Amino acid sequence: MNPNADPFVIDLRPIAFGAIGGVLTFVLFTLFSMSRGTGGFEYSLDDVYIHLAMADQIAMGGYGVNEGELASAASSPLYPLLLTPFAGTELQRWLPLFWNVLAIMAGGALFGLALSYARLGIVGAALAGLAPFGLNMYVSAFTGMENMAHGAASLAIVLGLWRFVETGRLGAILIVGVILAPAFRLEGVALSLAAAGTVFLLGSRRSGIFLALAGIAPVALFAGTLLSLGLDPLPNSVVAKLSESSSGDASVLQRIADRFVRNTGLMGGKLLLSVSLAVLCLALLTRGKSTKNAIFGFAVGMAGIAHLAAGSIGWMDRYENYILISQVAALVLLLSNLRVTLVPAALVVTLVACMIIYLPRAMGIYSWNVAAMQLQQGQMARFAKEHLNAPVAVNDLGQVSWRNPHYVLDLWGLASSEALQTRLAMPEQGWAEPLVRAHDVPMAMIYDRWLSDAVPSNWVALGRLEMDLPRAFIGGYEVKFYATDADHVARLQEAIDAWTPGLPERASFVAAGGSE
């Protein structure tokens, strides 16, 4: 360690170790999860296929999951666009894996760059190699979603902002991060605006305004595009999640307070709060030495608090990962300027705390998700596309909709504004009936506990798809099959009888009468 060395003479070792550590942990965890599955590769979340279905429609000039029906089923402005290459071919299915391998390499390398700035030498390289595992980056990539890419863009903001604070130069890494973070996830705008505000306060007013506009631009463009299509400015998934917070009568401040209390009641929220407060405390401690560094720490630390007040915690631990790794990177940078010898110990403590919280869930729950997708969503998709050959209603949208030539009615509402508005209006029992009639849907495959109030009395229960798994992050372990009218029962039963012999081991269909 040489505390007098130029922090911006890059040591490539932690960058390389970070990238390698990221890919290695991701590959090993994916292989471990696949070993628990039924064979072959599968994503750990059905949501990946929502984005693939959206990408298919975008490639054909539409926007939604059903041909000819506009819907904002994806909350990420950019991610579905990245999945449009090779639309209509098997290669498209591998794009989420491709982008997440790149994302975790970038995330690991950027965290390694933070340790390079901390001038820790080979110790920094070793810690960079461990960071993607300790900070749960591999699970973020394992989901197959846009979250790891959002995390890498957020790290770019923190590192680019630090370089600006230290040198006064606005680098490409900061500009790219400010644009990409909100383009991947709408909540990225908070960190982008925090960076813009810091640049503005430190005297570069034009640059600060430019960065603010650059951070807002992806959100404004996305909202404008949705409005131009006749959709609401917020995607359906965001509206659905917002509805899960306080009651509609609550004030904005009450909603923020309720969400903060709920988020900090979770272990991931407690961890994020602790690290964010540590960053804010370091900002105060460094104030006498460097006002610029103090403003940097305050901006990044408050972005962590803002996520707790307005964002989400959990959901396979992917929603808070971007801001958590950003806070830890800021912690490393601030501490390196205050007392570099404390950085390794502080980082080790942080990594251990993260592993205590996240590792048991990764190994005991999320590692079963590939199996769960193969035993449940995969079998639902096989039934819908190969045996039903008719419109279908679901509440867990994904594989059933991807490359399904028939209409898929999303009763939860991500792909159907009509269904979302109906569900959120606290309707009477059986509210799904007009929707299935309007779209001529003969069958529904749903989690009863999600949509018990949607089922009318005239639907006929045909049975349930079950799977034998210990634990997984999934909406339910049983999917109920319904005929939406008695006239459809005979035809649907024939389709079920043709489908059930192909069910893999650990998946079974229990008929309404009780027999498999």
* Gap between the Cα atoms of 160 and 164, Å rounded: 6
Residue 63 lies inside a defined structural domain of this protein: no
Q: Are residues 300 and 220 in the same domain?
A: yes
Residue range 11-53, pLDDT digits in tens: 999 999 999 999 999 999 999 999 999 999 999 999 999 999 9
| Residue 515: predicted pLDDT | 54
Residue 60 lies inside a defined structural domain of this protein: no
Amino acid at 164: F
- Classify the C-alpha dihedral 310-316-142-300 as positive or negative: positive
Residue 50 lies inside a defined structural domain of this protein: no
Residue 47 lies inside a defined structural domain of this protein: no
Amino acid at 339: R
Domain boundary among 314, 349, 364: 364
Residue 64 lies inside a defined structural domain of this protein: no
Classify residue 342 by burial, with Cβ atoms within 10 Å: 0-12, 13-18, 19+: exposed
Q: Are residues 194 and 340 in the same domain?
A: yes
DSSP class of 486: G
Domain boundary among 364, 396, 428: 364
Whole-structure pTM value: 0.95
Q: Are residues 275 and 420 in the same domain?
A: no
Listed residue (462, 457, 514) closest to 488, CA to CA: 462
Listed residue (228, 168, 247) closest to 203, CA to CA: 168
Q: Are residues 304 and 411 in the same domain?
A: no
8 Å CB contact between 172 and 159: no
| Residue 427: predicted pLDDT | 87
Mean predicted lDDT score pLDDT of the chain: 94
Q: Are residues 465 and 351 in the same domain?
A: no
Q: Is the pLDDT of residue 2 over 60?
A: no
Q: Is the pLDDT of residue 6 over 90?
A: no
Q: Name the residue range of residue 433's domain.
A: 368-511
Q: Are residues 236 and 217 in the same domain?
A: yes
Residue range 304-347, pLDDT digits in tens: 999 999 999 999 999 999 999 999 999 999 999 999 999 999 99
Residue range 424-465, pLDDT digits in tens: 988 899 999 999 999 999 999 999 999 989 999 999 999 999
Q: Are residues 89 and 207 in the same domain?
A: yes
Q: How many domains is the chain partitioned into structurally?
A: 2
Q: Is the pLDDT of residue 372 over 60?
A: yes
| Residue 9: predicted pLDDT | 74
Mean pLDDT lowest among 139-143, 227-231, 239-243: 239-243
Residue 57 lies inside a defined structural domain of this protein: no
Residue 209 lies inside a defined structural domain of this protein: yes
Q: Are residues 392 and 340 in the same domain?
A: no
Q: Are residues 269 and 300 in the same domain?
A: yes
| Residue 241: predicted pLDDT | 77
Residue range 187-199, pLDDT digits in tens: 999 999 999 999 9
Amino acid at 478: E
Classify residue 510 by burial, with Cβ atoms within 10 Å: 0-12, 13-18, 19+: middle
